[in-house]
Structure 1
């Protein structure tokens, strides 16, 4: 029986009994495998009896062990109590000894404190006396050092002067407590100046010749006298002088190229100098790494500091020379784009060189380097919008030409719109290449004026169409043919206007994308080795640019929130003008279609003399429509065959233009039917106005007009249309008997009721 499980923390009596029972059963099964008479109950009984007996024996043993342990503990308790009392008395005695020792230590410290202070004072006096002794010794040797130093100066012994001056500096430090230290310090500085003056010719020569060995010796000399910054100034002065000469040579090559009319050389003189500057910088970086102390990044970054100090100090300056070239050039924007590209390529290669050198520039030097490259070009960025306006205005002026015929004018509009947006895309490309879009907001202002000048073409063409309509005759086949031609021209004009507006919408989207990118570049921090023109913007200009972009974003949000807004907030006035031109062109289209109707309606008069006296009533069927009204009916019946070829399957642009002109074109019916309905509506209005101009209307004339209106109504029914409500009411009032006039006029407009009653001379019974 395994009793070790009884002491486990997760002991389970049931599991333990079951496990032992299975083990017991398996053992008995092996022994009695040949016996078939054994039973399970007998086995369980035997297991219980056996294990109960064992457990009872185990419990007895445990009880015996516990009793024996208890007796031993009881027997040892007096001894433990005695030992605890002894330990307590020892602790009390130890506490008394420690207290006595603490008192003794305090007494000793009190007795020896004064002695220690005296020893410290004596030690300090000894140190001062030793320093004074050394100072006196150095003072005695000061004169000897001065004499030896003067001797080295007379012999031009640079190394000897350096060694003696180093010793003199150490002696000066030792004499710091003696009187006259300031005078000796000034004397040492004078010797340093003389050493620097003596070393400067050879120093300049070794820098000019890139003599590394000689330069390293000079670095040691200047480092020993703590004048390494002055040596770096000599280095930068020599390198700037060399690069200044290269700049003058580049300009001389440009003058030669100009005299020989080699335009590419004239255009790329700045690129040539930048390439020389990069090569020089890369060579000097390797040289400075070998020259100066390792891990001294400030000293090793001297070639970059040379560039930062050189470019603003070039003579003549870059901006002055470029201005001279621009004055004599007819391609100013192209030249500026090339110079801007030269600047951009230079900073890209310079950033790459900086990254490869693994030199981390200070933030001040990093910004100074960017300003040295781009600062001069900001004045050209300010001038760019004016130059761009001049070029675009010149181009647009060539488009503002008078065309002889309306057809030529409309075709010219299509061509001018295409050319205009090509020029605008080129202008935006130039804005990006020359100004990195820093002048984009000012360019938008320029483009707004350019669009207004281009819209003069549409206005001029509309006036030409209107004049052609007024000059065209009415009544002959030739005049009718001219009207149909004018109708085609107005449709083309509408399509041109829609095309212009669609391209304007895409152009605005492109400008918004460009402004979003510009705002992101202005706001994001500059990368460690990145040099950009955006970090050279003045705070005022930077703030103004972001404010302007924010205004355009706000306008776009407002335009988007407005119902049926086409503009994105960049050129809202241009959209307004375009909508006006669309409406006017559509009115011209209606006038072309209504002109024959207007002419025929002008001939409608009450034919009093053609019929018997008013006292004789004649049947209605004896009246025939007047010739003018029948001509109007025939004209309206022929309109669909002329409109359907133009509007049966209109282009998307023409459909868009028509929808902008009238909301009825948005219905799911053919545009030709909509235009025909508009013509019919206007025809009814004109017929109504013509009738209301009649002063007196006898009964026969009223009958004649009612027959005319009924004829027009029948014609419109064949076209699937109806006369308007006012004309229908006029028909009712014209057909009403005088004695029933009041009753039949119920529901009609009071204005029409009064007018027709006065025409027919019906006496009011009210």
Structure 2
């Protein structure tokens, strides 16, 4: 039986558990007592072996301790000796450092003198060589060896730079400039011939000559000059074809820039691509500059005529301007009659031409993707430059266009200053025109936003917002004027004979209207609420959409202009590294807006501030519009309320002066009631009107609740108007009651019946009975001789004291 000693070293060792485990491992046939005895014997033997081993190892360790102590003492002595040696070496180094510094300073002075002497020697050699070169340069030119002449002139330039500004060599300096110009002129025709005939090696050699004498600008000039002539012929092809078509002939058809420009760009792109491929072989070090410079020169040369052609092309899409041969710029400058306006077709034609140029610019950007950023930017800006005069006045163009389009909407219809027709036909027609105009105007505004993105890339978003705000102000002002006209159509603000206006609203109609016609006015007025609701909701949705567009522009322009996520606190506009290369994201997203904003950091900063503000939910893209929409809604509510309350106002007019209030009971031999058992006609007509009003509001509810989600809101809206009219009717009635100076018993009883009827109508409409009206009813229905006791009774707390006192004065009851 083997004994595992590893368990004895465990920190959680338990003797009982170990014994139990040992017992369980015995053979089932072995007696437990024998197994325990064997286990005890083995443990005792192992213990004795361990004890003996421990004693032996302890004795050996004791013998090694003196030897280790001697080793430690020896190591300490060696360390002290080493420390002293190191200190001595450090002291010697410090002494050597002082003496070597003086030696080094002396050597430095000697080296400086040596270098100066060498420079003087070289300068003397250059001066001697310069004199020799100056005397032999004419022979070199006479030999016709242009590369040798270039090398000679380069050496002369080097020698002149070495000798500096020395008066003795001033003539040689002038001679060198003349000789460089002379060599430049000699190379020009040869280089032109090499470029024209695609002589790659020859062109490389002459290019080397120009570079050797520092005339790279001449290389650019000659290269562009060779190619500008055929390219200008491509551009002038349009004029020649126009002149050909000007000759009367059945076969000749007029050609427009819209149809000709794509073919011009295709031919130009093909020419540039071919030159790019050849220049890679002929000028491998310079092709990234030469070819873009060629395109830049071409666009700069034709820019003036390009603008004129664009202007004329926009006029051809509208017969009126085509007859005058005047385009957008002429209209904006006032060179045409005032009746001629910028139309959507003008802008669409301009945008179509701009899209053609944009396609060409993207192809050029792809072709020149290897070029330096600065060169690429300058080239693309030259491509787009003809459109710059139009973009700078884009806000004015949109303002004129939208103003003309919105001004052309027939909003007034049959509105006149007097009521004509029956059943409010003209009111309904005008309101219908107003309501239908709102989505039309929103569509026009959305189209303007889309045009701004397509034409300027959003760089004129700030000007567009100002134009949109002004146009909406113009439109809402027109709606406000129509509302003023509708007051007369609805019979409001009409002064009848002997009546005066109160609070801007007439107290009586000039002509009595039929019930059917009055309800037609009510329906027409309620339709105006739909106009207000549509204007409010659609303008809010449009403004939210405009904010989303501005936020999207902020992201796109930030990538294009800044090359990465924008940090508007940085001073630079384009993220360019030391080599002049744009980041991958910036180069891929470079567009027309970025090209414009790069050159105008102030405008870019202003635009980005606006775009950053648009991310705030509280931001109003159209602040004036938001205010005017709210004012229009208030005006509509005022007009609708005046229309709904007008019948009530008419019926309650002069109620305080009715003769029934002061009538005296007639003497009769029969016992008859002293008052009518029925309410009077003025109050019943008002009650019937109020009870019928909810039915008139149902079409309004159906019109507003376009979905089930809005049903509750629409119902609440109708109920609110119902309560508003009922409260207004009650207020008018109580105002008339306060105007009664004296009332007899018969009048008091009749008035209490009238008030009771009106109270029942209000209850039917779920309206609470005002305490003042309840006080009138209580005090008027009480007999005159019991009125004083009523006021002194416990029920006095339910009455309105001022009203109760007023009724007592009306009934001549002395409360003292």
- Which of 435, 457, 474 is equivalent to 2:456? 435
* Cα gap change, 1:168 to 1:694, in 2 (>3 Å): closer
Residue 222 of structure 1 is matched in structure 2 by 210
User: How far is the alpha carbon of 1:692 from its aligned partner?
Assistant: 4.1
User: How far is the alpha carbon of 1:506 from its aligned partner?
Assistant: 0.9
Q: Distance in 2 between matches of 1:750 and 1:68?
A: 124
* Cα gap change, 1:445 to 1:333, in 2 (>3 Å): same
Does the CA contact (< 8 Å) of 2:752 and 2:777 recur in 1? yes
TM-score, normalization by structure 2: 0.70
Residue 705 of structure 1 is matched in structure 2 by 751
Residue 372 of structure 1 is matched in structure 2 by 382
Q: Secondary structure at 1:571's aligned position in 2? A: helix
Residue 557 of structure 1 is matched in structure 2 by 618
Unaligned runs of 5+ in 1: 561-566, 660-664
2:61 equivalent to 1:40: no
Does the CA contact (< 8 Å) of 1:254 and 1:266 recur in 2? no
Q: Which moved more, 1:141-150 or 1:191-200?
A: 141-150
User: How far is the alpha carbon of 1:464 from its aligned partner?
Assistant: 1.9
Q: Distance in 1 between matches of 2:765 and 2:119?
A: 126
* Cα gap change, 1:67 to 1:650, in 2 (>3 Å): closer
Residue 589 of structure 1 is matched in structure 2 by 644
Residue 466 of structure 1 is matched in structure 2 by 491
Which deviations, in whole Å up to 9, do the C-alpha atoms of 1:735-766 show, x marking residues without a partner?
Answer: 44445444434655565445544443x26353
Residue 311 of structure 1 is matched in structure 2 by 299
* Cα gap change, 1:426 to 1:608, in 2 (>3 Å): same
User: How far is the alpha carbon of 1:11 from its aligned partner?
Assistant: 12
User: How far is the alpha carbon of 1:51 from its aligned partner?
Assistant: 4.3
Q: Secondary structure at 1:399's aligned position in 2? A: coil
Q: Secondary structure at 1:233's aligned position in 2? A: helix
* Cα gap change, 1:725 to 1:41, in 2 (>3 Å): closer
* Cα gap change, 1:539 to 1:190, in 2 (>3 Å): same
User: How far is the alpha carbon of 1:505 from its aligned partner?
Assistant: 1.4
Residue 400 of structure 2 is matched in structure 1 by 390
2:593 equivalent to 1:533: yes
- Which of 142, 152, 176 is equivalent to 1:151? 142
* Cα gap change, 1:706 to 1:151, in 2 (>3 Å): closer
Does the CA contact (< 8 Å) of 1:158 and 1:195 recur in 2? yes
* Cα gap change, 1:117 to 1:732, in 2 (>3 Å): closer
TM-score, normalization by structure 1: 0.74
User: How far is the alpha carbon of 1:580 from its aligned partner?
Assistant: 1.4
2:686 equivalent to 1:651: no
Instruction: Number of aligned residue pairs: give it.
Output: 708
Does the CA contact (< 8 Å) of 2:365 and 2:380 recur in 1? no
Residue 235 of structure 1 is matched in structure 2 by 223
For residues 704-743 of structure 1, the aligned pairs below 5 Å read: 704-713=750-759, 724-743=770-789
User: How far is the alpha carbon of 1:290 from its aligned partner?
Assistant: 1.7
Q: Distance in 1 between matches of 2:372 and 2:209?
A: 26
User: How far is the alpha carbon of 1:392 from its aligned partner?
Assistant: 2.9
Residue 476 of structure 2 is matched in structure 1 by 451
User: How far is the alpha carbon of 1:649 from its aligned partner?
Assistant: 8.0
Q: Which moved more, 1:617-626 or 1:212-221?
A: 617-626
User: How far is the alpha carbon of 1:197 from its aligned partner?
Assistant: 0.6
Q: Distance in 2 between matches of 1:485 and 1:720?
A: 26
Q: Distance in 1 between matches of 2:632 and 2:510?
A: 27
Q: Distance in 2 between matches of 1:532 and 1:718?
A: 68
Q: Distance in 1 between matches of 2:614 and 2:469?
A: 12
2:351 equivalent to 1:334: no
Q: Distance in 2 between matches of 1:253 and 1:490?
A: 62
* Cα gap change, 1:514 to 1:117, in 2 (>3 Å): closer
For residues 339-354 of structure 1, the aligned pairs below 5 Å read: 339-343=350-354, 346-347=357-358, 349-351=360-362, 353-354=364-365
Does the CA contact (< 8 Å) of 1:452 and 1:574 recur in 2? no
CA RMSD of aligned residues (A): 5.4
User: How far is the alpha carbon of 1:588 from its aligned partner?
Assistant: 0.8
Q: Distance in 2 between matches of 1:14 and 1:668?
A: 82
* Cα gap change, 1:666 to 1:622, in 2 (>3 Å): farther
For residues 674-685 of structure 1, the aligned pairs below 5 Å read: 677-685=723-731
Q: Secondary structure at 2:660's aligned position in 1? A: coil
Which deviations, in whole Å up to 9, do the C-alpha atoms of 1:155-174 show, x marking residues without a partner?
Answer: x5545544655676677789
* Cα gap change, 1:214 to 1:610, in 2 (>3 Å): same
Q: Which moved more, 1:183-192 or 1:173-182?
A: 173-182
Q: Which moved more, 1:128-137 or 1:446-455?
A: 128-137
User: How far is the alpha carbon of 1:650 from its aligned partner?
Assistant: 1.6
- Which of 485, 488, 495 is equivalent to 2:520? 485
2:634 equivalent to 1:576: no
Does the CA contact (< 8 Å) of 1:509 and 1:568 recur in 2? no
Q: Distance in 1 between matches of 2:490 and 2:527?
A: 12
Residue 545 of structure 2 is matched in structure 1 by 510
Unaligned runs of 5+ in 2: 316-324, 328-340, 415-420, 495-507, 564-581
Does the CA contact (< 8 Å) of 2:126 and 2:163 recur in 1? yes
Does the CA contact (< 8 Å) of 2:272 and 2:291 recur in 1? yes
